[in-house]
Amino acid sequence: MPSIAAIQMVSGPDVAENLAAAAELLAQAAAQGARLAVLPENFALMGQRETDKLAAREAEGAGPIQTFLAEQAARHRLWLVGGTIPLRIAGDDNRVRAACLLFDEQGRRVARYDKVHLFDVQVVGSAERYAESATIAPGDRYVVADTPIGRLGLAVCYDLRFPEQFRALVDRGMELLALPAAFTVTTGLAHWETLLRARAIENQCYVVASAQGGKHANGRETYGDSLIIDPWGEILARLPQGPGVVLAEFDRERLENVRRQFPSLQHRVRCEV
């Protein structure tokens, strides 16, 4: 059975340092037999300011971060979900797309998902306030891609709170979900595991959630707890805090048995409101 890997990082403001850290973790994942690896949101840059991503943005198909991802996928012969990276928007100098890129084992980019739901919130019970839309423009389509392991859906962090997105993905054949994230400690403690298990259970799919997990140079603290979850909602692997790699097996027989023996996806009823 193929192994899938969630990679957890504590990224900082230096892109080169972050890429070097990611390279070490990807090498570990590959050495342990990973066929698919998922990097966290903002793996290449957690800047001192939200506007730092503008200086690091790349044109689609060109730039050091995209080159790095392609080279790592080819070097380790694995499918690689590149967390999110800042991609340039033509005619917009003030915002980027938060793009989640999928590369195959030959280093070819085969899919791109731009984060749809942006984190513009005052965190309940906290002084934390975020306004991603100030520097990020939202995407406008959901993405599922074929891989040798199975049909892979892509989503990012705050997307997790919008179950209609994952229903759309499973309607397009999703069997495995990659969710790079950088959850806050407050929201992570309250909702992270609950939401991830719910998405796995209700869509009867595997979930690979790769997180930022620790204290960053900009003063922010992220929740971590990278998880791999099976279609019955069982947690197969987890990493609470700090950089590292966790792996689990993608068991197609398990997936098919859950969907056959408990056919809730077939029992969906659409009614008029």
Catalytic residues, by residue number, are: 41, 115, 157
The vertex-12 CA angle with 108 and 24, nearest 5°, equals 50
| E strand intervals along 61-217 | 79-81, 85-89, 92-103, 109-114, 120-122, 129-131, 143-146, 151-154, 176-181, 206-211
Find all residues with CB under 8 Å of 20, minimum gap 6, and list them. Answer: none
Q: Is 209 helix (H, G, I), strand (E, B) or coil?
A: strand
Residue 259 has phi, psi (to 5 degrees) of -70, -30
Task: Give the Cα separation of 226 and 240 in Å (integer).
Answer: 7
Helix axes of 193-203 and 163-171: crossing angle, nearest 10 degrees: 30
Three-state secondary structure string covering 19-84: HHHHHHHHHHHHHCCEEEEECCCCCCCCCCCCCHHHHHCECCCCCHHHHHHHHHHHHHCCEEECCC
